[in-house]
Amino acid sequence: MGDQRTYEQIIALWAVKTKDFMTADWFPMSEVLKRISNRIINEVQGVNRVLDDVRSKPPSTIDTGTEQAKQTNEVELQREIEMQRVRIMHLLQALDDKDRIIEQLKSQQQ
């Protein structure tokens, strides 16, 4: 992955322990998580983060956290939009600088 910042996909691992699949508690997987996350980041193209989801599950069926995934995607999308806006602003500033330099060179030649 290197030292530069990347904006790619995130994988959340939700390990739980349950007896009845109605309730569940998160399962601590600190050492295993280190190995799993390193392998995923190094071997799965397009993924740059692995998160450990440590929420317990109240009485209900085990779900996949779809609503939480939607919220995470929205936050990432907003971040990407802001980055693109900043890039556009930098490009516009560079164009303004270029036009100003061209005008200065023209006036110096006269």
Tokens representing residue 16 in the block: 């739980």
Nearest to 15 by CA among 24, 3, 26: 26
Write the pLDDT tens digit of every residue in 75-102: 777 888 888 888 878 877 877 777 778 8
Q: Could you tell me which residue, 59 or 15, shows the higher pLDDT?
A: 15
- Give the H or E element holding residue 85: helix 66-109
Reply yes or no on whether the pLDDT at 55 is more than 70.
Answer: yes
Q: Are strands 25-26 and 47-52 parallel, antiparallel or unpaired?
A: unpaired
- The long-range contacts involving 73-78, CB below 8 angstroms and separated by at least 24 positions, are 76/7, 76/10
Q: How far apart are CA 89 and CA 80, in angstroms?
A: 14
Q: What is the mean pLDDT of residues 29-53?
A: 85
> What length is written for the chain?
110
Angle CA 14–16–22, to nearest 5: 115
